[in-house]
Structure 1
Amino acid sequence: MTTNEKVARRKLSLLELAKDMQNVSKACQVMGYSRQQFYEIRRNYQTFGAEGLMDKLPGPRGPHPNRVSEEIEEAILAHSLEYPTHGPVRVAQELALKGIQVSSGGVRGVWSRHDLLTRHDRLLRLERTTREQKIDLNEDQIRLLERFSPEFRERHIEVHHTGELVAVDTFFVGTLKGVGKVYLQSVIDCYSRYAWGRLYTNKLPVTAVHVLNNNVLPFFEDHDARITTILSDNGREFCGRKDRHPYELFLQLEEIEHRTTKVRRPQSNGFIERLHRTLLDEHFRIQGRTKWYESIKEMQQDLDEYLMQYNTRRPHQGRNMKGQVPYTVFKKGLPKRPKKEHKQAAEKAA
């Protein structure tokens, strides 16, 4: 016997006891009910019979008279889909500006009927809707999805061999007394994490070209490899008119594709950003407290020593590196060239 059936039997016993005793007050006192409850039980029994003794009355129940209209409910759900982190008061205020009058309690009522009471539930609804249909996401929605969704958090740049993608960036190191501002032009091979870096007193296209021409490209040529694509932010030292900008012209001459990250989204160039943090923690912050630099040349010498240790002796804990040093992975990732190309390259070198 279910709990609901036991309750119905107890109500029936109340009605029979009141009939036998011919005294409603005493019957209610014995059974532990109030007179108001007795008359409500008797009315339900007379109207619906034995089923009326159940806690839930049979038959369809209509909507609550205070429930919001379907148009307002659709407006609330649409707003919550576009802005899933807005609270009920904010939603009511936003809809009021559009001429839709609803209270914060009405918003919560709609959320309750659709299992959207928590912010997490509304974010999951946004994620499900995004999967099912193609919609244009605004910046707020993208940011929230990346924060709460494991699928967005676990995205990675896919690189399959050395030189397929090289990331570059300009990093402000600090101000050196008597010299001025010091900038680092950093370059990293995204497959092997092999890094290059040169310090300058400005961030101009000519400095960005200099580090590529004097350090990076000769290193690739020594290993019979080439760079396919370079990834940079939208800084002026990297981007400009392709027919005039020195950096763009240099990449065209070297037949290197130039890709840029989204504006104000440094995580899309995460390899170089992580390199900057490593350089800060393991080199600049230590050297800046243990040595007094008088010229940028001294800083460059110490940086070259650290990069040599970073590239050839320091085990790297990055994704897919497995504790290997960057130079080892750089050589392993060199794309295999056909024998004909090797022979042509050797004849050209001779």
Structure 2
Amino acid sequence: MSHPHARLTVHGRRLLIDRVRAGRPVAHVAEEMGISRATAHKWVRRWRDEGDAGLYDRSSRPRTTPHRTPADVEAQICQLRRERKLGPARIGPILGMPASTVHRVLTRHQMNRLRWMDRPTGQIIRRYERSRPGELVHVDIKKLGNIPDGGGHRIMPRQQANGNRQATTDARRGGSPVIGYSFVHTAIDDHSRLAYSEVLANERKETAAAFWERANTFFAEHGITVERVLTDNGSCYRSRLFAQTLSAANIIHKRTRPYRPQTNGKVERLNRTLLDEWAYVRPYSSNTERTEALADFLHTYNYHRCHTALGGQPPISRVNNPAGQYT
């Protein structure tokens, strides 16, 4: 790809060739186009040798790299990284190499960041993205502690917060009030990252199935036909009711491999965003207040918040696209 200040693009090189083929001297054409004679002759020579294919940019990578780290040494670096999770500063002294060289080797093998590796096995995590909206939707549940009416210990002294807990619920366990938990059910489209969430009372099969019906309606309202749903192996997702709910809408159900949450990584990452930018972004005075704030967050997330995986655009930018883009 030509750099921003290049005198000649592929179109300009074709124009150069056309003028030379018309009988114009190469030196005159070079002067008209503001390039050197050597450059003009280079492109004319490439065109004569290779045709139109010779007018495209070539890789600047050298044909040989005699000083590159030997393959067996690179294998040792990768082995230390994979088995012992060591960084360049520790691998370097072990092998008698500069840490900068070790870092370049790890980068070349996509092992320079531990989050790109599966910690137990040391295998590189394969990242993917579906080609169109609805091809795959990730679904998961996040458990959140409830907030007593009047606020908890995050916004007031513990003694006062404990009084709020006593006044909020009659449930007791060992003499202490039991506030309980809320369950955030979430669905996110793999391609567009369009998300839908609800705060519900439990994670039973009936609740999960009803949530999916509402989530499917949400995606349908945005012109997305869901083809597959990916979940973990929670009991609600292994139930016959959830399977029948998906089958009724002609949706294929996929489940992750046990102990491999990375497979469902997009919704796992959204769960973390929910905590950082909604659940814990400010102190709430009640569970109801926090629940009501979810709708505003989802609107911001879907329509306004930039997403790094989408080139800084919000998820809706991949939904409202010209007809036929995904066919």
- The bucket for the TM-score relative to the shorter chain is 0.5 to 0.7
Kept in 2, the 8 Å contact 1:162–1:335? The answer is no
State the alpha-carbon separation in 2 of the partners of residues 208 and 333 from structure 1.
Answer: 34
Kept in 2, the 8 Å contact 1:169–1:272? The answer is yes
In the alignment, which of 109, 123, 136 is matched to residue 165 of structure 1? 136
The residue aligned with 1:73 is: none
Deviations 1:124-183 (A, max 9, x none): 9xx9xxxxxxxxxxxxx993332xxxxx24x11230000000000010122333452111
The residue aligned with 1:213 is: 213
CA shift, 1:337, in A, is 8.6
State the alpha-carbon separation in 2 of the partners of residues 322 and 159 from structure 1.
Answer: 16
Amino acid of the residue matched to residue 144 of structure 1? Answer: T
**Number of residue pairs matched by the alignment:** 190
In the alignment, which of 281, 295, 312 is matched to residue 304 of structure 1? 295
The residue aligned with 1:143 is: 120
Amino acid of the residue matched to residue 329 of structure 1? Answer: R
Deviations 1:90-118 (A, max 9, x none): xxxxxxxxxxxxxxxxxxxxxxxxxxxxx
Residues 222 and 85 (structure 1), Cα distance of their counterparts in 2 relative to 1, 3 Å cut: closer
Deviations 1:182-217 (A, max 9, x none): 110011001111111001121112222222222x22
Residues 180 and 190 (structure 1), Cα distance of their counterparts in 2 relative to 1, 3 Å cut: same
In the alignment, which of 266, 269, 276 is matched to residue 271 of structure 2? 276
Deviations 1:49-94 (A, max 9, x none): xxxxxxxxxxxxxxxxxxxxxxxxxxxxxxxx9xx959xxxxxxxx
State the alpha-carbon separation in 2 of the partners of residues 209 and 334 from structure 1.
Answer: 32
State the alpha-carbon separation in 1 of the partners of residues 241 and 252 from structure 2.
Answer: 15
DSSP-derived class of the 2:250 partner: coil
5+ residue gaps, structure 1, are 1-80, 87-119, 128-140, 147-151, 339-350
The residue aligned with 2:311 is: 322
The residue aligned with 1:293 is: 286
Amino acid of the residue matched to residue 309 of structure 1? Answer: T
The residue aligned with 1:255 is: 250
5+ residue gaps, structure 2, are 1-78, 85-101, 110-117, 149-168, 170-178
The residue aligned with 1:266 is: 261
State the alpha-carbon separation in 1 of the partners of residues 142 and 210 from structure 2.
Answer: 15
Kept in 2, the 8 Å contact 1:192–1:333? The answer is no
In the alignment, which of 305, 321, 325 is matched to residue 332 of structure 1? 321
The residue aligned with 2:191 is: 191
Residues 286 and 85 (structure 1), Cα distance of their counterparts in 2 relative to 1, 3 Å cut: closer
Amino acid of the residue matched to residue 263 of structure 1? Answer: P
DSSP-derived class of the 1:332 partner: coil
Which structure has greater helix proportion?
Answer: 1
State the alpha-carbon separation in 2 of the partners of residues 335 and 212 from structure 1.
Answer: 27
Report 1 or 2 for greater relative contact order, CA contacts < 8 Å, sequence distance ≥ 6.
2
State the alpha-carbon separation in 2 of the partners of residues 248 and 281 from structure 1.
Answer: 32
Q: Share of identical aligned residues, percent? A: 29
The residue aligned with 2:227 is: 228
Residues 163 and 294 (structure 1), Cα distance of their counterparts in 2 relative to 1, 3 Å cut: closer
Q: Would you say 1:176 and 2:165 are equivalent positions?
A: no
Residues 278 and 335 (structure 1), Cα distance of their counterparts in 2 relative to 1, 3 Å cut: farther
CA shift, 1:332, in A, is 2.8
Normalised by the size of structure 2, how large is the TM-score? 0.52
* Equivalences for residues 99-114 of structure 1 within 5 A: none
Normalised by the size of structure 1, how large is the TM-score? 0.49
Amino acid of the residue matched to residue 159 of structure 1? Answer: R
Give RMSD over aligned pairs. 3.0
DSSP-derived class of the 2:233 partner: coil
Q: Larger radius of gyration, structure 1 or 2?
A: 1
State the alpha-carbon separation in 2 of the partners of residues 270 and 220 from structure 1.
Answer: 20
State the alpha-carbon separation in 2 of the partners of residues 184 and 333 from structure 1.
Answer: 33
DSSP-derived class of the 2:236 partner: coil
State the alpha-carbon separation in 2 of the partners of residues 277 and 227 from structure 1.
Answer: 24
State the alpha-carbon separation in 2 of the partners of residues 335 and 208 from structure 1.
Answer: 33
The residue aligned with 1:201 is: 201
DSSP-derived class of the 2:199 partner: strand
State the alpha-carbon separation in 1 of the partners of residues 230 and 193 from structure 2.
Answer: 14
